[in-house]
Structure 1
């Protein structure tokens, strides 16, 4: 699926007539500023069940809704993930974080001889948790988000793979029985500095929840809260993985270190992704 972040000026929608031909859909999308108009047209035509539904979907896209929210799903690491209106759309760069988490989850399973305990914090649609469950096969999975719409959407993605989703503010949402048991904690926290939220594409700033985007003055407010509490929730030798930007990485590493986590930075030039991985030191023998 094309990236949902292609620039759209959100012009006033012209009345659409049904049925729409392929060329008409392409022209309409291109006029609205869709960079991947051909690809998007193919997807809309393949998804719509009726001419009226196609017209409505094209109109919503022209108005600026993210493509994933228009069609109701996003492709994420080979899996089709449900994405409801008003829910953060999973980014392709986050697939890099998932890849690192899968490797750590498998290592934990080999070390302990049991399914790894995995938590998807700030889960949004639940894409990360659902894909991790698929890749790890045997997993004890939990997820949480503060946004009610995200929680409802995440349950539709995570329940089929045997996970549970909770609503609340970060760790406050999780069962207390998870303290000290988590092998892999993935926290896709918001990390856009408040002053830069207005620079995001209209699709993000107008149709995704602000709480999923705004990371405070320097973009690291939520990351600091997560790193401060994570050591109490991680199992000895457990890992916290957080996505951030390349320029924020040094400050993020400081937050990990300050809270007793052993950090390392992983980067993908291809996906333009930066992930900080912090490990809780194992217990002394």
Structure 2
């Protein structure tokens, strides 16, 4: 590996306003195979390209998840949704899991990785997104674990044969209210697709559509997990309750994350 000047790289990034300049410098130096390649990586980052796009991957829940320009970058806070799904799965091993609005496929990938440490058989994983760029990216990330990825609008993308059979439905629907999009950091606002950010007037448009359609796709006793903002708890709770779910709210101050967990009643007899 070439002998790069880490301090010089750090200074360049710090001068460009990168808050975590030293950490980013290490990652860029590790990724570069030559001075010319490093210069190109630095130039892209200084110009405002998100670090994850420059590197080609994002760290999520201990995994390196492939990302590419135009694909939503998985956030650290979404680890709460994965943890809540894993806890449900350990209590009642699922046969079928769906990652809806999957983006890069990070949530489904992380959940299967969590469950792979146990002795129960791994569930079938299905993922879907409306964005063809995200679908291609998710297919790369989920190929090694046999995940099947489909393109389309929410449940319209999924195969009919799993209707009524889904045990866990992970839905990281966009939940930023439309009026707040302009106030988001430029790395998100200018580089990530608006379909992955804009949740409508109150941020819950896609969450409502998902909750309304989900009972027909979930198995008896199945659960829907949706990431929301803390100020959306009352509205999200009401939406899920109206759709027939019992609701529990999980939050993590450390991650700055909130997840609404809706669970359907179990079957009255055998499945």
Give the corresponding residue for 1:74: 58
* Offset of residue 107 of structure 1: 2.1
Instruction: State how 1:176-255 maps to structure 2 within 5 Å.
Output: 176-255=160-239
- 2:108 maps to 129
Taking structure 1 as the reference length, what is the TM-score of the superposition?
Answer: 0.90
Partner of residue 16 from structure 2, selected from 32, 40, 46:
32
> How big is the shift at 1:271?
0.5
Instruction: Tell me, yes or no, if the aligned pair for 1:108 and 1:183 is still in contact at 8 Å.
Output: no
Q: Deviations over 1:146-176 (max 9, x none)?
A: 0111001000111111110000000000001
Unpaired runs of 5+ in structure 1?
A: 1-17, 110-114
Give the alignment of 1:32-181 within 5 angstroms: 32-109=16-93, 116-137=95-116, 138-181=122-165
Asked if 2 retains the 8 angstrom alpha-carbon contact of 1:20 and 1:55, the reply is no
Question: What is the alpha-carbon distance in structure 1 between the residues aligned to residue 92 and residue 139 of structure 2?
Answer: 25
List per-residue Cα deviations over 1:168-211 (Å, max 9, x = no partner).
Answer: 00000000111110000000000000000011000000110000
Deviations 1:90-137 (A, max 9, x none): 00000011000011122222xxxxx52100000000011111111223
1:283 aligned onto 2:267? yes
Write out per-residue CA displacement over residues 3-41 of structure 1, whole angstroms, 9 at most, x where no aligned residue. Answer: xxxxxxxxxxxxxxx996222211111111100001100
Distance 1:235 1:51 in 2: 55
Q: CA RMSD in A?
A: 1.3
Distance of 1:266 and 1:53 partners within structure 2: 43
8 Å Cα contact 1:30-1:37 kept in structure 2: yes
**Residue 261 of structure 1: CA displacement?**
1.0
| Structure 1 residue 52 displacement after superposition | 1.4
Aligned residue number for residue 15 of structure 1: none
Aligned counterparts of 2:200 and 2:38: Cα–Cα separation in 1: 39
- Aligned pair partner of 2:240 in 223, 245, 256: 256
Q: So what's the TM-score if we normalise by structure 2?
A: 0.94
Moved over 3 A (4+): none
Q: Measure the CA separation in 1 of the matches of 2:27 and 2:231.
A: 35
What is the CA-CA distance between 1:139 and the residue it aligns to? 1.5
